[in-house]
Structure 1
């Protein structure tokens, strides 16, 4: 039995993103995102129905501002009371899990896909997906970028505009590009 590109993507192996099945999944996500982004706010509520149905898990009292974008949606899990401000982008070729009470500022971007470094393979659509895990009660400031393979611990803070390339400990505050640890308050 041959392993399909979707299976390879889910397993964190190199896969071809130009696969027809993956394109169908992305089209389904584009349709759900379009519904979310174009519905009147009163009709949409906290999240458009098609977007809610697309995600792997949505806790109670989740709110996603428009506009929003995701690649697949099926790899996104949102805990209770998660808030995504306007302009968030989630390229969810890998699993994205956001814990209870976490807040993402406007324009936060989460990128799970990493394209191949060798030009011939990259030009054929070869990439790998790395998961992103955001713990509970995390605050990610506007315009921050979270790269694949990153885990952000409970209660952490990511400063606006930061580029997070490696894990962030629970309760830590990181800022900058690349994001670096800030000393505890009063010890700067």
Structure 2
């Protein structure tokens, strides 16, 4: 099993693996180009995102600056707006459904590390030992600014996450959830 396959399977993997670090550097180059491109150059921005992201639907708007680990593990639906200063650590799959919005400064993490220092510290490597879990954001979701979504979280359809929330566990569909840790405060009657 390659280190990339281990990473995507949620097993401990080596972040310094040649295949992974090569893609990481390419993603940094593409995000730098994206962030430096004039926001009026829509076709150029779309072309860069096509090289950076795993997939994107129609009518996707990502305000610069935008930061990723690999980019290729990010899959975005149709009619999605991602505001400025978002950071997506896509060491596993990040899926964002149709008609969803991500507020400014939102962080989505799919990667974490062992909590025991003797397990996370590397032997002859620059990088800590890591493992991952995917993040899934449903359709018609609004993630308020400065929220943090942790590995393994699924946010159901028609959900609003209040600004500044830390989403540590999955959130069911049709509700408003806020806080640290994020919790459901009311249901939404979806038509």
Q: Tell me, yes or no, if structure 1 residue 89 matches structure 2 residue 96.
A: no
Farther-moved stretch of structure 1 (164-173 vs 51-60): 51-60
Match of 2:118 in 1: 120
Alpha-carbon distance between aligned partners in 1 of 2:119 and 2:146, rounded to the nearest angstrom: 30
Q: Is the 8 A contact 2:37 2:45 kept in 1?
A: no
Matched residue, 2:107: 109
Match of 2:163 among 160, 164, 179: 160
Moved over 3 A (4+): 44-48
Residue 142 of structure 1 deviates from its aligned partner by: 0.3
Gaps of 5+ in 1: none
In structure 2, the partner of 1:144 is 147
CA distance in 2, matches of 1:169, 1:46: 37
TM-score by length of 2: 0.91
Task: Report the CA distance between 1:19 and its aligned residue.
Answer: 1.6
Task: Give the drift of 1:53.
Answer: 1.7
Structure 1 Cα separation of the partners of residues 138 and 64 of structure 2? 23
Q: Quote the Cα distance in structure 1 between the aligned partners of 2:44 and 2:182.
A: 31
Q: Which residue of 2 aligns with 1:61?
A: 59
Number of aligned residues: 183
Unaligned runs of 5+ in 2: 123-127
CA contact (8 A) 1:46 1:64 kept: no
Aligned equivalents of 1:25, 1:41: Cα separation in 2: 25
Corresponding residue of 1:180: 183
Q: Deviations over 1:149-181 (max 9, x none)?
A: 000000001000000000111111111100011
TM-score normalized with structure 1 length = 0.92
